């Protein structure tokens, strides 16, 4: 809590990047100590209060909400898209720099990232931006709505842990982690709502609510497109009309907002950006070509999907592995992208991914290296080796030494799906 309070007190974290990174790492270390103690207590048969964990999680986020958004400027684009819709216009129709939208510009317009590129956020995300702007046009409103999504993730995750008969303390692996607190309550990233849809889909699947699961996955795709990779595995053995329902939901969302320039930002994004990439960095180093690296990443991703498909992998277990592979193969991996898999890592007790998220703040060393100069960004190389190397080491250690084993004499409940399989197996 002290680490989060210190970060909130700093205010503009971009203006003090060294202290921000140190604060996040200290918070991650404290989080590790707390989770170890909860694991140890569980091994001795002591119960963990879900209510206490959720309450503490709410307090952490309330403290962080006192600070202005600073580590990321995405929230300015959210607000702009909401404002464009409030004026009765389509957010996909023009860029923020377009003269026809000049009448909407205010003091915060100058903070929008890449104003000459159209918005990339899908239709349901645009709906959330519009609703938030309608409720209040301040940046704080967007931080609060992002935090609500984050708290929804925690509630759904608690339900998923219960449905899979996993130890309740594992909720702390996500709920008390400092990175979601800073990225959602602090920076206002709406990715929390996507994660809520995906965790909700996993929960519905675990409780045999297959149609609800399909609808939630479709909602996730309309919030941010990456949940699309999970759809085939989840809908493989469902009635065909479930597939039709999901398709109609997704298609309807894009129909409402349709504009002929909707695909342009995808081309810009996929062709221009690289940051903090893991496996993709290795592929680029081996091939020496950005195009070849992208082709190799796509091929590996397709191969992973085919292996899971041919093995008839359980949708939840296969979906988790597919999501991890997808993130690692991406050319751009912002710290909040790593959070996409953290709730599921909490269920799987995947300490390697928890470590990855704990060290993710090191990627903000780019702010330190460039001393706030945004004209020419030079990304230091060493954070990649620390973040991904340490996570791989922890994963290998956990694979060799099963930390899920109970303490001597204690009862142990495995993390199991309804089919009796381990999510991380």
Residue 8 CA from chain centroid, whole number: 21
pLDDT above 70 (res 12): yes
DSSP string, 353-379: HHHHHHHGGGGGHHHHHTTT--SS---
Q: Does residue 384 sit in helix, strand or coil?
A: helix
For residue range 131-170, list pLDDT tens digits in order.
999 999 999 999 999 999 999 999 999 999 999 999 999 9
Distance CA 285, CA 212 (A): 43
Handedness of CA 173, 175, 179, 184 (dihedral sign): positive
CA-wise closest residue to 176 among 63, 259, 97: 63
The 10s digit of each residue's pLDDT in 32-59 is 999 999 999 998 889 889 999 999 999 9
In whole angstroms, what separates CA 74 from the centre of its chain? 14
How many whole angstroms separate alpha carbon 223 and alpha carbon 193? 7
Across 280-301, average pLDDT? 95
Residue 375 has pLDDT above 80, yes or no: no
Q: Flag whether pLDDT at 237 surpasses 90.
A: no
pLDDT tens digits for range 84-136 = 999 999 999 999 999 999 999 998 998 998 899 999 999 999 999 999 999 99
Q: How far is CA 217 from CA 121, 139, 154, 206, 325, in A?
A: 16, 28, 18, 14, 19
Radius of gyration of the chain (CA): 21
Residue in this structure with the two tokens 């982690």, named with its chain if needed: 177
Model's pTM, two decimal places?
0.91
DSSP 319-339: HHHHHHHHHHH-SB--HHHHG
């Amino acid at each position: 809590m002290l680490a989060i309070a210190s970060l909130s007190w700093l205010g503009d974290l971009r203006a003090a990047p060294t202290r921000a990174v140190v604060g996040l790492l200290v918070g991650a270390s404290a989080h590790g100590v707390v989770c170890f103690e909860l694991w140890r207590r569980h091994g001795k048969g002591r119960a963990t209060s879900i209510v206490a964990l959720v309450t503490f999680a709410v307090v952490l986020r309330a403290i962080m909400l006192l600070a202005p958004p600073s580590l990321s400027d995405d929230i300015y684009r959210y607000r702009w898209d909401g404002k464009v819709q409030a004026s009765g216009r389509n957010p996909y129709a023009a860029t923020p720099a377009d003269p026809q939208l000049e009448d909407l510009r205010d003091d915060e317009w100058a903070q929008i990232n890449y104003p000459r590129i159209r918005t990339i956020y899908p239709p349901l995300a645009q709906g959330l931006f519009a609703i938030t702007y309608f409720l209040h046009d301040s940046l704080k409103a967007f931080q609060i709505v992002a935090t609500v999504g984050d708290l929804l993730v925690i509630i759904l995750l608690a339900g998923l842990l219960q449905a899979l008969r996993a130890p309740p303390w594992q909720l702390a692996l996500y709920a008390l982690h400092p990175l979601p607190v800073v990225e959602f309550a602090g920076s206002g990233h709406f990715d929390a709502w996507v994660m809520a849809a995906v965790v909700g889909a996993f929960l519905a699947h675990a409780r045999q609510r297959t149609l609800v699961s399909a609808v939630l996955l479709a909602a996730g795709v309309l919030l941010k497109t990456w949940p699309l990779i999970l759809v085939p595995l989840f809908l493989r053995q469902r009635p065909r009309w479930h597939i039709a329902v999901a398709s109609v939901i997704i298609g309807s969302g894009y129909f409402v907002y349709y504009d002929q320039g909707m695909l342009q930002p995808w081309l810009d994004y996929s062709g221009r950006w690289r940051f903090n990439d893991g496996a993709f960095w290795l592929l680029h180093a081996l091939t020496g070509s950005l195009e070849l690296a992208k082709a190799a990443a796509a091929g590996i991703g397709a191969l992973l999907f085919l292996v899971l498909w041919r093995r008839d992998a359980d949708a939840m277990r296969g979906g988790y592995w597919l999501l991890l592979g997808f993130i690692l193969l991406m050319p751009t991996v912002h710290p909040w992208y790593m959070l996409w898999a953290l709730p599921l890592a909490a269920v799987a007790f995947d300490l390697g991914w928890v470590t990855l998220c704990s060290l993710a703040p090191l990627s903000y060393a780019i702010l330190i290296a460039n001393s706030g100069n945004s004209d020419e960004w030079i990304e230091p190389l060493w954070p990649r080796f620390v973040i991904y190397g340490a996570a791989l080491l922890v994963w290998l250690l956990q694979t060799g030494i099963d930390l899920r084993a109970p303490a001597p004499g204690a009862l142990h409940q495995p993390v199991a799906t309804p089919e009796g399989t381990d999510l991380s197996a």
